[in-house]
């Protein structure tokens, strides 16, 4: 089993865990992958981290089944977390995972704005069924949010540093 988690950093959100250096121990070392993201992380940066971390690790690990927890507390406006995603990112991730052509077990999780969470989950399940594609996007998709100048200046370098740390600590374990 390999777990790959993208979440708001434990520096700014309870329970204060899930840091990039928490990678498992013993025979499980390198099979717990945490990508802690700074508050304000937006779609493009999140998707870049997913593509650079999750996709190569999934490819290398070669799972028989992929389980995904569709945590919607990363959506902009969620009263718990302070990430700034649209539901488009969730659908894009689901579409990326579908490309592995493996059985997918998808569950809901997180998300404390009922309307946003419901719409995100509906979009994700639509994507799981192949009804949200680049050529035929779902009407459930959100309008893109424009990052602020502060987000554009601060978030990408912070996330790039996290990506590099994960690549240095976890990727060699998987011959990447």
Consecutive 10-residue averages of pLDDT for the chain (176 residues): 97 94 97 98 98 99 97 96 97 97 96 95 95 85 95 98 98 98
Q: Distances from the Cα of 43 to the Cαs of 21, 104, 144, 156, 172, in angstroms?
A: 24, 23, 8, 11, 27
Does the bond joining 19 to the residue before it have cis omega, within 30 degrees of 0? no
CA–CA separation, 90 vs 102, rounded Å? Answer: 18
Q: Look at residue 137 in the predicted model and tell me its pLDDT.
A: 86
Backbone angles phi, psi at 68, to 5 degrees: -130, 130
Its CATH architecture, for the domain 3-174, is 3-Layer(aba) Sandwich (3.40)
The domain segmentation of the chain, as residue ranges, is 3-174
Specify the pTM: 0.94
């Amino acid at each position: 089993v390999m777990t790959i988690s993208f979440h708001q950093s434990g520096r700014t959100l309870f329970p204060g865990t899930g840091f990039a250096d928490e990678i498992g121990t013993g025979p499980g070392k390198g099979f717990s992958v945490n990508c802690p993201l700074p508050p304000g992380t937006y779609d493009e940066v999140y998707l870049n981290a997913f593509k650079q971390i999750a996709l190569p690790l999934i490819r290398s690990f070669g799972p028989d089944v992929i389980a995904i927890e569709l945590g919607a507390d990363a959506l902009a406006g969620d009263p718990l977390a302070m990430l700034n995603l649209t539901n488009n990112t969730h659908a894009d991730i689901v579409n990326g995972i579908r490309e592995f052509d493996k059985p997918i077990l998808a569950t809901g999780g997180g998300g404390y704005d009922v309307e946003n969470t419901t719409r995100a989950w509906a979009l994700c399940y639509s994507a799981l069924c192949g009804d949200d594609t680049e050529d035929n996007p779902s009407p459930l998709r959100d309008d893109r949010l424009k990052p602020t100048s502060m987000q554009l200046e601060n978030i990408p370098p912070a996330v790039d540093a996290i990506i590099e740390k994960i690549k240095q600590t976890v990727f060699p374990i998987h011959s990447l």
